[in-house]
Amino acid sequence: MALPKCSLIISTYNWPKALDLCLQSVARQVLLPQEVLIADDGSGQETRELIEHFQKRFPVPLIHVWHPDNGFQRSMILNRAIAQAKEPYIVQVDGDVILHPKFLQDHLTMATPGRFLAGGRINLSEEFTREILDKSIINFSLRDISKTSNLFNGLRSGLLRRFLANRYKLTGKNKYYVKGCNMSFWRKDLLAVNGYNENYTGWGPEDSEIAARLMNTGIRKMSLKMGGVQYHLHHPYVDTSRKAINEELLRTTIQTNITYCPIGLDQYLAK
């Protein structure tokens, strides 16, 4: 069966050094996306200039989706990017991760109708992150990842990937567990739930909330374990002042079986 064509969405905010490495890792993918959209939550001129530099030589169209900085509005900028995406399948990452060369290949080979994929990441130490940024490292050895706390997120196995897809972190406390830096969806499924909930401002489980709405509508989660490898650069945690409010939104979605958010993706679609 032919693999789906995909749009890769990268969310970013004012960390051009990290985005530089992320884009380098995208350009060397074994299987390239049809387009890359940078969902930029209000970064400054340095990020804009970096993207313009990459646009001159990038192997696929590189589209800068930007809005003015008005605080943490990741849900809004992701919706704007999803609205502009042209392909039927969407892979979503953050601009502070470096992708394994077969990252996209793993997502696309596991893409399944009626499912969305949730992968993990390797968390790099503060010290190693400084070295990576200083030396522009985008290649990692087994020795490198063996020093991290989550080694198994760095291993690839097609057989285990398929075995774990419908078994790993799918029930109990992990039922709605996802990392927004490593997810993929069919675009039509995102349209059906109206994308991200823009009642989320500030840090919170907006990715788990969209996962919950997808699951409420019958789209099942699949785990991408032993594949979809990515390396997460260390950074200070963002403002969590709205964490309690945002977590209550997630609980409401789960408890009342909400499938569609009223303030979401539809406002950016062509009428």
- Kindly list the domain boundaries of the chain, sorted by start residue: 6-268
Beta-carbon contacts of 2 under 8 Å, excluding residues fewer than 6 positions away, are: none
Report the percent of the chain where pLDDT is more than 90: 86
Residue 237 has pLDDT above 90, yes or no: no
Position 108 scores a pLDDT of 98
Residue 160 has pLDDT above 70, yes or no: yes
Position 239 scores a pLDDT of 66
Write out the H or E segment, with its range, that includes residue 128: helix 126-135
Residue 270 has pLDDT above 90, yes or no: no
Beta-carbon contacts of 184 under 8 Å, excluding residues fewer than 6 positions away, are: 6, 89, 90, 91, 92, 107, 111, 116, 117, 224
Q: Shortest CA distance to 132 belongs to which of 151, 148, 152, 119? A: 148
Residue 147 has pLDDT above 80, yes or no: no
> Which range is least confidently modeled, 54-68, 137-151, 218-232?
137-151
Query: What is the mean pLDDT of the segment spanning 203-223?
Result: 95
Residue 88 has pLDDT above 90, yes or no: yes
Q: What is 6-268's CATH number?
A: 3.90.550.10
DSSP assignment of 181-238: TEEEEEHHHHHHHTSS-TT--SSS-HHHHHHHHHHHTT-EEEEE-SSS-EEEPP----
Residue 247 has pLDDT above 70, yes or no: yes
